[in-house]
Amino acid sequence: MTTAWGELALTRFPEDPRDRLRAWDASDEYLLRHLADEGVALSGTVVVVGDRWGALVTALAAHRPVQITDSFLGQEATRVNLERAGVEPGSVQLLTTQDPPPDRVDVLLVRVPKSLALLEDQLGRLAPAVHRGTVVVGTGMVKEIHTSTLRLFERILGPTRTSLAEKKARLIFCTPEPSLVRPTNPWPYGYTLPDGIGAASGRAVVNHAGVFCADRLDIGTRFFLQHLPDSRGAQRIVDLGCGNGVVGTAMALANPEAEVLFVDESFPAVASAEETYKANGVQGHAEFRVGDGLSGVPADSVDLVLNNPPFHSHQATTDATARRMFTDARRTLRPGGELWVVGNRHLGYHVTLRKLFGNSQLVASDPKFVVLKAVKRSSD
Ligand SMILES: C[S@@+](CC[C@H](N)C(=O)[O-])C[C@H]1O[C@@H](n2cnc3c(N)ncnc32)[C@H](O)[C@@H]1O
């Protein structure tokens, strides 16, 4: 990426040489060009929210920015990109959306996130630190910036306008109005699960902003909850890509002797899973981990993996993550251990499972979804 601060070589995380998707887009370039061309003073505390793979903080590293991200993969990419650019460790502060934000923000740069809820929560958390002199500039692709996006800036921070579009990207200019009476931040959002979904029926669920299907039970998840396996005894179970943790919590409620590992690459997801688990007073062992799939989980150590894989990854429709999750599950399962997957029937997960495990069994199906089971036969 060519910027006024130099040429940068940027990658996504995990790096995949077959991945043709870039680690930045025209909206990152537009924002950086604007800051340089207009000579925007980048002094005081510079905060960057929603930087996808670290392009913005890597370009602006000399101004010692603070990055706030909801994504472990995004944060790892940032670390790699900063190191490759020779940025001194510690020059860029890496915070997550769950960390307390800085007390004072002098420049706020917002790469508009896919989730409006996440934007609402982030602006709400940062608003008390924004003052009349704070420079606020947002950026995003035209298709990502809606009237509702601008309205959020307006309701939470102050008067807002947009730039002309350039290369299908647009900037957002907001003038902070500290005397504004701000709406209360509705996040995290809790609700009670419906009946008819096994052990999770009528249970509480907690959703931090940005988590998958934060305001209602996803219909695929609902179908999965109706067909979860029987689990007995001290089994080690993984809720892989746990989101708000309803699947792992349902397993823990059904079998309190089980030890459940909740994993997700999203910081708000893991925070939600932990709160969902705790809100239900489950008596058992659980671990909550932010990470990429099952990396760090030893081979042959798990009895059961439950997975509702993502089919969008950072704006790209891909089954690459699902395939990596199934491969991880095969490695970490003990011989005889099982992977249970729910998915849209048209995604054809049974083909991938058969390739990886040598078997795939249909557990349940309806016109839209299938629940599949694959058994690890041996360790080789
Ligand atoms: C379809 S959602 C399922 C959430 C939850 N299990 C449910 O059924 O409601 C997929 C989840 O996978 C997570 N995810 C995506 N890529 C991941 C990765 N590389 N490692 C771990 N989790 C990932 C997403 O953040 C998301 O929470």
What confidence tens digit (pLDDT) does each residue in 271-319 have?
A: 999 999 999 999 889 999 999 999 999 999 999 999 999 976 554 556 8
Report pLDDT for 148: 97
% of the chain residues with pLDDT over 70: 98
Residue from 6, 14, 53, 4 nearest 292 by CA: 14
Domain architecture of the chain: domains with CATH: 2-174 (3.40.50.150), 189-375 (3.40.50.150)
pLDDT digits (tens, 9 = 90+) for 189-242: 999 999 999 999 999 999 999 999 999 999 999 999 999 999 999 999 999 999
10 Å CB burial of residue 247 (0-12, 13-18, 19+) is buried
CA of 240 to the centre of ligand 1 (A): 7
Report pLDDT for 319: 83
Six-digit token string for 164: 């002309």
Q: Which of 205, 215, 225, 308 to mutate for ligand 1's pocket (most ligand atoms within 8 Å of CB)?
A: 308
Q: What is the mean pLDDT of the chain?
A: 96
91 and 157 in contact (C-beta within 8 Å)? no
Report pLDDT for 17: 81
Ligand 1 pocket at CB < 6 A: 212-213, 218, 221, 241-243, 246-247, 263-266, 269, 292-293, 308, 310, 321
pLDDT digits (tens, 9 = 90+) for 120-154: 999 999 999 999 999 999 999 999 999 999 999 99
Euclidean distance between CA atoms 214 and 172, whole angstroms = 26
CA of 179 to the centre of ligand 1 (A): 39
The more confident residue out of 270 and 20 is 270
CA of 309 to the centre of ligand 1 (A): 6
Q: What is the DSSP string of 30-56?
A: HHHHHHHHTT----S-EEEE--SSSHH
Report pLDDT for 318: 65
130 and 158 in contact (C-beta within 8 Å)? no
Structural element, H or E, at residue 341? strand 333-344
10 Å CB burial of residue 34 (0-12, 13-18, 19+) is middle
Euclidean distance between CA atoms 87 and 61, whole angstroms = 7
10 Å CB burial of residue 42 (0-12, 13-18, 19+) is middle
97 and 121 in contact (C-beta within 8 Å)? yes
The dihedral sign for the CA sequence 56, 59, 61, 62? negative
Cα of first residue to Cα of last residue in the chain, in angstroms, is 43
Residue from 296, 286, 250, 246 nearest 269 by CA: 246
pLDDT digits (tens, 9 = 90+) for 37-47: 999 999 999 99
Reply yes or no on whether the pLDDT at 102 is more than 70: yes
CA of 236 to the centre of ligand 1 (A): 19
CA of 164 to the centre of ligand 1 (A): 35
Q: Which of 212, 249, 307 to mutate for ligand 1's pocket (most ligand atoms within 8 Å of CB)?
A: 212
**Nearest-CA residue for atom 17 of ligand 1:** 265
Half-sphere exposure of 89 (CA within 13 A, CB side): 2
**Nearest-CA residue for atom 13 of ligand 1:** 241
The answer to whether the bond into 194 is cis (omega within 30° of 0) is: no
pLDDT digits (tens, 9 = 90+) for 32-74: 999 999 999 999 999 999 999 999 999 999 999 999 999 999 9
Q: For the whole prediction, is pTM greater than 0.95?
A: yes
DSSP category for residue 373: E
CA of 72 to the centre of ligand 1 (A): 12
Among 7-11, 105-109, 187-191, 314-318, the range scoring the smallest mean pLDDT is: 314-318
